[in-house]
Chains A and B, each alone.
Chain A
Amino acid sequence: MKRLSIFIVSMLASLTSMADWEVNMPRGVSPTANAAYDLHMLIFYITVVIGIVVFGVMFYSIFHHRKSKGAKPASFHESTTVEIIWTVIPFIILVGIAIPSTKTLIMMEDTRDSEITLKVTGYQWMWKYDYVEDDVSFFSKLASDSNQARQLGSKIDVNKVDNYLLNVDNEVVLPTNTKVRILLTASDVIHAWWVPEITGKKDAIPGYVNELWVDIKKPGVYRGQCTELCGKDHGFMPIVVRAVPKQEYTKWVSLNQKNRVADKSK
């Protein structure tokens, strides 16, 4: 009993050392991420209100319309008027949701007038980045300390690994306040590229090219993961984007142009 309580207390204590109890989507640092967040919150609040109303009525009924309280059952069992009302009102609410949703979607799918093009290729199990205009090209895979720690039975405490599972050897560097067009494809199976704070995800499909755009407003390091099951190491091919001011980006490009990697077998 004593050992059990020690175990429970230490488990609970260890909880405090673990990071966030994050419950919501990040608002993000780009117009598209912001827009997704705003829509998400709008619909969330609408469903909360509907839930309060509907469940409120239910709970009222459960408390008051019970046999043990002596309630006698009424005999009504249909009403066309009421059916029409509770078909039309939800429909109107949906139209209200559809309008901002459509506007946001159109905005997100407009990749025109981008300054930089970044081609992202998904591999089993890493990413390749090609800066089309700036002629920089490299592979990016899970950082080796994370990779060691994640092996089955490694006995390494993952809480001590820097950004466990969200760190890579070569980061994507992008300039802030620049519209970047991201082209997505894959070499073998379907992957998906996702950095939640900078934009929504899109699939990377072998033989086809998809695109999305980002415009990162705040410098910083943003982390994401592959989000389409792609085999055994699907959970181990993260993405790290470092957003820097334009001059820093230009410097980084010139430093890395020499290390061009051509598309040949590894």
Chain B
Amino acid sequence: MSANIDHLKEEHHQPSGLMRWITTTNHKDIGSLYLWFSLLMFFVGGLMALVIRAELFQPGLQLVVPGFFNQMTTMHALVMIFGALMPAFVGLANWQLPMMIGAPDMALPRLNNWSFWILPFAFTMLISTLFFESGGPAAGWTLYPPLSLQGGNSMPFVIFSIHLLGASSILGAINVIATILNMRAPGMTLMKMPIFVWTWLITAFLLIAAMPVLAGAITMLLTDRFFGTSFFTAAGGGDPVLFQHIFWFFGHPEVYILILPAFGIISTIIPAFSRKKLFGYDSMVYATASIALLSFIVWAHHMFTVGMPLAGEIFFMFTTMLIAVPTGVKVFNWVATMWKGSMTFETPMLFALAFIILFTIGGFSGLMLAITPADFQYHDTYFVVAHFHYVLVPGAIFAVIAAVYYWLPKWTGKMYNETLGKIHFWMTTIFVNITFFPMHFVGLAGMPRRIPDYAVQFTDFNMIASVGAFGFGLSQLLFVYILFSTLRQPVTVADKAWDGAEGLEWTLPSPAPYHSFDTPPKID
């Protein structure tokens, strides 16, 4: 029987070269496409960050005019969020989910291909707006009207590309849910799924619920600008604050979309390198689900200064504080996993441990921001910038990097150089703190966000942050070197690359075969 199948496979013409990558419907190929794209976008967004930090190295304007600076801050965020982080997590989902549940591929392989290829097209369009005469978007990634309605010719292109990015995410999320709910190997009940699968399942539901709301909000911006509606202008009976409500109704779940898969990765790596099962698996699932549900009722904490009624301010303060509880539960469960384990500290584990500490610091500044009367002093300052960079950089991005180090041996059958990995880790961690920790200070001392120039008392910490940013950027070049030099190694890795690793993917050879689990495995 299997001989017939092999014969069929040989006759099945696999395109090679460029056509392979354009037409592939294989989850492993598509996972790789997403991950390489994400890495490229990470450097593009990183370059924009360096323009920002270079200008902010000293007070006075040395490099760019303020209008261009605003384009850099806007695009940096759009590229990092939609071009680097989200595709990275989708890439990891593509590679890992089918293997982890014992499925041969994603539920909708061709849709999977389209979901990816939308991205390069959309980003080319988005980034090309920087070269328009009227420049690219400069109203912040949050696109608040009326300012965003003053935008030049780039506006419809920006909105169209964001629509495309949203569509790609939605299609990907549908694919993830359909796969997880329908294609698990027999015997794998929901509460037996690997935790990374759970976090992606919940993230996919968040995507389905939140991204269409963004689509609505930006369509309203478009019609306000070009088709005579007045959703957001008082003259026509509208309200600029309405946009903020609609945007953040999407925006808050969005930040949980950016972190829940990261939580799943950490929940996978800590047990593997502690040689001990994840503590409180059930709790972790419920905590993740609670965070996802709560994320829909906290949105206005991004808007405490708009002049909300007192009752609203109090409500959102309480719900935002509440979300600290399940998040804290997760941190405690990770520590309990480490406790009385037998730990080794290979590169994935180093990044995961740094995640727990530094993400928690980001969580602390988040708790401070949740307190409305205090937020009146923090809002729109560098304190907020420090907070979200802590949760996104040594938070989400460290989780992605950890995941790549962890699963690279499975994907390629080759082991990266552990010494170089550790150097990459230490440089990255040291520089990330040099870059973002001082931002807490200047924010508290009164430096607003989104300004290209500042009063002289903020000089010292800005200088330090800028030095840190360049150091951080250079450190990532080492990461690229590590990746490429690993790919040049011979295949040496066993099925189980890490002796504490658990999960179906580790029952497959390394590299994992192009088609895996064509017949589902048995789950006990």
Question: A and B bound?
Answer: yes
Binding site for B on A (CB under 8 A): 15, 18-26, 32-33, 35-37, 39-40, 43-44, 47, 50-51, 54-55, 57-58, 61-62, 65-68, 71-79, 82-83, 86-87, 90-91, 94, 97-98, 101-102, 104-106, 108-109, 149-154, 156, 158-159, 163-166, 184, 188-190, 192, 194, 196, 199-203, 205-208, 210-211, 223-236
Known pairs A152-B65, A164-B59, A164-B455 / 8 extra A-B pairs, C-beta < 8 Å = A18-B456, A25-B445, A61-B339, A62-B338, A74-B341, A105-B313, A153-B61, A231-B147
Cβ B357 vs Cβ A58 within 8 A: yes
Summarize B's interface: helix, strand, loop or mixed.
helix
Given contacts A86-B329, A94-B322, A229-B449, contact A65 B455 (CB under 8 A): no
Cβ A43 vs Cβ B340 within 8 A: no
Cβ A158 vs Cβ B276 within 8 A: no
* Contacting residues, chain B, for A234 (C-beta < 8 A): 66, 70, 448, 450-451
CB distance from A236 to the nearest CB of B (A): 8
Q: Which residue of A lies closest to B363 (CB)?
A: A47
Q: Which residue of A lies closest to B349 (CB)?
A: A62
Binding site for A on B (CB under 8 A): 59-67, 70, 138-140, 144, 146-147, 150, 233-235, 239-241, 274-283, 305-307, 310, 313-314, 317-318, 321-322, 324-325, 328-329, 331-333, 335-345, 353, 356-357, 360-361, 364, 367-368, 371-377, 379-381, 440-441, 444-446, 448-457, 459-461, 463
* Contacting residues, chain B, for A57 (C-beta < 8 A): 335, 339
**Pairs A-B, 7 closest by C-beta atoms:** A207-B234, A200-B376, A235-B451, A210-B307, A47-B364, A77-B277, A22-B445
The CA-CA distance from A77 to B235 in the complex, in Å, is 60
Cβ B361 vs Cβ A51 within 8 A: yes
Cβ A21 vs Cβ B461 within 8 A: yes
Given contacts A47-B364, A62-B338, A158-B60, contact A227 B381 (CB under 8 A): yes
Given contacts A75-B276, A90-B328, contact A65 B339 (CB under 8 A): yes
Cβ A201 vs Cβ B147 within 8 A: no
The CA-CA distance from A207 to B256 in the complex, in Å, is 33
The CA-CA distance from A86 to B272 in the complex, in Å, is 24
Cβ A73 vs Cβ B276 within 8 A: yes
Cβ A98 vs Cβ B317 within 8 A: yes
CB distance from B308 to the nearest CB of A (A): 10
* Contacting residues, chain A, for B374 (C-beta < 8 A): 36, 39-40, 43, 101
Q: Which residue of B lies closest to A89 (CB)?
A: B328
* Contacting residues, chain B, for A158 (C-beta < 8 A): 59-60, 456
The CA-CA distance from A162 to B169 in the complex, in Å, is 51
The CA-CA distance from A228 to B343 in the complex, in Å, is 47
Contact of A36 among B63, B306, B376, B457 (CB under 8 A): B376
* Contacting residues, chain A, for B353 (C-beta < 8 A): 58, 62
Cβ A207 vs Cβ B460 within 8 A: no
Contact of A43 among B235, B318, B371 (CB under 8 A): B371
The CA-CA distance from A79 to B374 in the complex, in Å, is 37
The CA-CA distance from A190 to B441 in the complex, in Å, is 26
